[in-house]
Every structure is written in C-alpha cells, then in structure tokens.
Structure 1
C-alpha cells in the first residue's frame, strides 16, 4: 500500500522519495486547484484565511501535520477521524529570539536611529532598557519558556509569568493565573503576549487592559493577532500612551493603508518570528520523521489533543 503525502516544499518532496511513500507537491496558499486525494497533509498555516477550508476537501485525509505550533486555524476544517500533530520543539527558539529582537529594537529606539542614519544626522538618543525593567510574560508554554530563558541575561528587575492556570514550574517559577492580570498590569514596563488564540484569550488585551498599563509601557505580541483589540491599541498609540512591537496583527495580513503601519511608536514585522534557516531545517526534520513513522505504523508524536 502506498502512503500519499501532500508536502508544500521541494526539500520535503525530495526527502520523502522512499519506496511505499508517494510525496505530492501541493501548497495550500499557492496551488490554484484543490489538493488531490491523500492520506497525509503536511502544511503551513495559510496566509489567506479563506484558504483554510481547503483542508476539509482533501479526500482520504487521515492525518495533518502542521509546520508550526499554532493549530487553532485548522480545527474546524479537520476531518472527524483525522489525527493532528504540530511542530512543537522546532519553532520555540526562533520565535523567542525574534521576541527579544522586537523588545530591544523598540526599547533602544533602533527605528529612530535608522531614520537618523538615512538623514546622515549624528544625534545621541537616550532610551529605556530591558535591564531594570519589569516584564509581564503572558504564556508559560514552549514559546513562553524560551522567552523567559532569553530574558534572564539582560537582568530585568523581574519577570512575572502568567498562564491560564496558576502553578509552580519545576524550576520553582511561580506562574500566576490569568485572573491575576488586572492587578499585575500596573507593575509592568513590558508586556509580552505569547498565548495561543482561543475563545478565552480573544481580545484579552482590550481597552481596559491597556488602560491599566503605565504610560510608556511596551506591548509585544508574538502570539496571535486577535488576542489584541487593534482599535483599542491604536487609540493608546495615537495618544502617545504606549509603545508596541507586533509580529502578529488583526487583521492579518495587515493590508496596505491600515493605520497600524504608521501608528506612532509601533514596530510591525510580518509574522516572521519563525522564519529562519535553522527553523526550516528543524521543522523539515520533524515532518520527515513524522511521515516516516506513520508509514511504518508508529504512533504520531506531538499529537494535538485539545480539539474542542
């Protein structure tokens, strides 16, 4: 029996040229036609939300492997009996690295320095710093943990971690429950959003949330765009009350002419946190191992069990 596998990249197609496996090059974003019949789909998250439903139209599909950690987009389109896995373990380091880059670029006013460079103007800029700041980190999963690990060498005054449930981690870190956020917000110089998008987190960062932050605080969203109320954030930015660094936005992709592009003290990157050569290598290795394991009858790893 041949295992038909849809893959989005040539390197995966080449690596799966194995007797008994038939790789089929098909990209959920780029191919004009729906996918041919296949048992396994290896896919990125489609940039256009309207293309997500293409998953549901794949005949014979019994397993989906995502080249990302986030999986919420695919749930409503997943066949009832299909299993779902993600790329946990390949994405966290690149995402955490980009998060730190956003923080440092924003705090140390690098966009302003670049503007001065282009004008050939030598003028010192006094800035804030990660050193000595209080960081409120929303998210204690793989990405949140990787971010916390990278924050430590910069000597913040403290890092306060928040997740859906209060608990103490193996290393002794106290994690606050989401219900504590309201009282913690006034303490924060920097708020990092590294949460998944769920019904509980949608618009968590709303007008009331933002109003509790001290003037000049920096909001960093490395999680999902809909967690932040864009209109509420724009109002705070326009008033000069807050700063923002966003790798994800709502809407996404951010359309030309959207006010976030030109909002004051706002740095935007195009959902590129995981887009590194090392990530590509690691995520490809995971996908190849997953498909080979399925072919020989092994239980898939990184199974997503939360499908409600």
Structure 2
C-alpha cells in the first residue's frame, strides 16, 4: 500500500508500556499499516506538539495512563475515526462526546482476560490443595501434615462458584473444564439455555455463595455490582470457604471482608482491594488466611505483547476497510467493565 494511503496514527499512553506492547518485530508490522512516530507518545493532549499531532490523527492507539478523551481533545482531532485501546476497560477513557462523533472504539480486553483467568485457575487449584495453610504450618513445624490435617484437602469434586460470565469468567470456564470440579455460575444476563451450553449450573447469587467451596469474582464494576458481596452475603459462604477476587475491590464491602477474614472463618486470594493499595496498617497484609498480590493477574511483562498484537490486527483491519474484531459499542458499556 503506498505511504499516502496509510492512516495517520498517534500513540497515547505512558511511554513505559510501549516497548512491551510492541516489541521491534511487532512495531515494524504496525508501521507497515499506519504512518506513526514511535518517538511521539502522548501523555498530555495540551502541549503544542500534541495538538499538532492530534490535528492530523485518524487513529489513536491508547494504553494505560492515557488521558481521558474529553470534548476539548476530540475538538483538536477533527479527523479522528478510531480509538484502538491496548488495554482492558475503556470506561474511564471515553465519554459521550466520542460516541456523538461516531468514532469507532476497539479494546484488547479479550487479550487481557487470558492471564487473569490463568491466575485464577492457579489460585483455585492451590487453594483446593490448601497450599497456603500447609505452607504456614510447614514454616512453623517443619513437619509433613498428618492425615487429620489433610482430611479436607483436595480438588476432587470441589464446587467452584463463578460470579460473572464476563470475558474473564468465560475464559476461566474454558480452563476449568478438564478438572474434576462442579462449576456453578451467577450472572443475571445468562439464561438457563446459555448456562447449559457453558456446562455450568445457574444459581442465584445467594445459592451460589451457600453451595460453593471456592467463590471467584468476575463481574464488572458498575453501579449494580457495587458492594454486591456485603456483610450478609459474605456470611453465606461456608466455613473454610475461599473468596478469590481478581475483578475490582469495589465489588466487596471492605470492612465486612476484613472482619470475616480476621475471624479465620474464610480464606481469601485478593489481587484487587479497596482501597488499592491498602493502608500500611491493614491486617490483610499479615493474616495467614489471606494471599494478597498487587494487582498482577492482568497482563504483565511479556503478556503485554498479546495486547499489542490485537491492536496491530485491528489497525490492519481498519486500513483494509474491514470491521473491527474487538469493537466496543456504546450500549455495552452499561454492563461491562
């Protein structure tokens, strides 16, 4: 394709992410599809160089720490026709002004779903083996556990409750199929026929909490899900049950969760919290029944290249006049992350 026909694109994100998203071979492929300057990565849309770049931009390739695309920014980008986001949620990035302009939006959220699902699967298997409890006991005693101490350990027939058939939730359902689990699902947007096709039992949220050995959160952070696991619902999880949260801390009442975990009645794997990070004095850092990680379930390191591949493929489709494969629609934002 002659250079004059290539769409003009601009990067907008924290520049630290660019080499991981687009290693040299992938960057070379992207540059065959668009006129783009890899040395220009916008973090602020107001300096003169940024304004000049926006004036010609037909495509914005955005990523983490991209400024919000407000009405003033869009007014400075009259030729803009697509935003390709090399990350997950676009909720905080775009507003009504973009939809009113009819600008297409794509997200690499499906690429980010896989490492979150992989992390969650790993934690389900480890908590099913009671690995973290046995680790703490081994540190203290230097002795192998007795049969009595392993009587409730094991993954055979564990009931896994998935809250939310989101992209992450569905990838996790795929990963769980080879194992000897009974998988349960709560999602108000999934009907009985779809649940059967997914191979899961569809329950109310309260019934899922009562019946599950391990509960894993994969619902979006929207007004309807805010504090969905409050004190009363956390109390429904059976004694010794496990809560895994790789979604958003806002889905769980933080005080109620801390109180439950402080009793030792439940175990938790928390990759997200509210607030994030927790205050230095939070007991969740030291409770032996809590496995706390610093929001690492999503794409990190070499996993970020998967997001760059999705954006590159979307740009190729755009340049070829094809519909985007990972388009985000305005109507979807009400119920997705």
Q: What range is the shorter-chain TM-score in? A: 0.7 to 0.9
Q: Show structure 2 runs of 5+ residues with no match.
A: none
Distance in structure 2 (CA, Å) of the matches to 1:197 and 1:138 = 12
Q: Say yes or no: does 1:171 pair with 2:190.
A: no
Computed over aligned residues only, the root mean square deviation of the Cα atoms, in angstroms, reads: 3.1
Deviation, 1:24, is 4.0
Structure holding more helix per residue: 2
* Larger displacement relative to structure 2 (123-132 or 139-148): 123-132
Matching residue of 2:86: 67
Q: Say yes or no: does 1:292 pair with 2:316.
A: yes
Contact 2:163/2:216 (8 A) holds in 1:
yes
Q: Choose which of 154, 162, 180 in structure 1 pairs with 2:179.
A: 154
Contact 1:5/1:41 (8 A) holds in 2:
yes
Give deviations 1:166-202, integer Å, cap 9, x for gaps. 412273635636xx21233211111111111111111
Give the number of equivalent residue pairs: 298
Matching residue of 1:245: 269
Q: Choose which of 124, 141, 146 in structure 1 pairs with 2:166.
A: 141
Contact 1:234/1:260 (8 A) holds in 2:
yes
Matching residue of 1:107: 128
Matching residue of 1:43: 62
Matching residue of 1:87: 108
* Larger displacement relative to structure 2 (247-256 or 215-224): 247-256
Please state whether the residue corresponding to 2:153 is helix, strand or coil. Answer: coil
Q: Say yes or no: does 1:307 pair with 2:333.
A: yes
Deviation, 1:67, is 2.6
Please state whether the residue corresponding to 2:174 is helix, strand or coil. Answer: helix
Deviation, 1:274, is 2.9
Please state whether the residue corresponding to 2:98 is helix, strand or coil. Answer: coil
User: Structure 2-normalised TM-score?
Assistant: 0.75
The 5-angstrom pairing of residues 153-232 of structure 1 reads 153-156=178-181, 158-167=182-191, 168-169=193-194, 171=197, 173=199, 176=202, 180-232=204-256
Distance in structure 2 (CA, Å) of the matches to 1:128 and 1:39 = 56
Larger Rg: 2
Distance in structure 1 (CA, Å) of the matches to 2:44 and 2:67 = 14
Task: Describe the shift of the 1:301–1:133 C-alpha distance in structure 2 as closer, same or farther (beyond 3 A).
Answer: same
Contact 1:72/1:198 (8 A) holds in 2:
no
Contact 1:236/1:242 (8 A) holds in 2:
yes
Q: Choose which of 284, 292, 299 in structure 2 pairs with 1:260.
A: 284
User: Structure 1-normalised TM-score?
Assistant: 0.82
Higher relative contact order (CA closer than 8 Å, sequence separation 6+): 2
Distance in structure 2 (CA, Å) of the matches to 1:258 and 1:32 = 35
Q: Show structure 1 runs of 5+ residues with no match.
A: 47-51
Contact 1:108/1:129 (8 A) holds in 2:
yes
Please state whether the residue corresponding to 1:42 is helix, strand or coil. Answer: strand
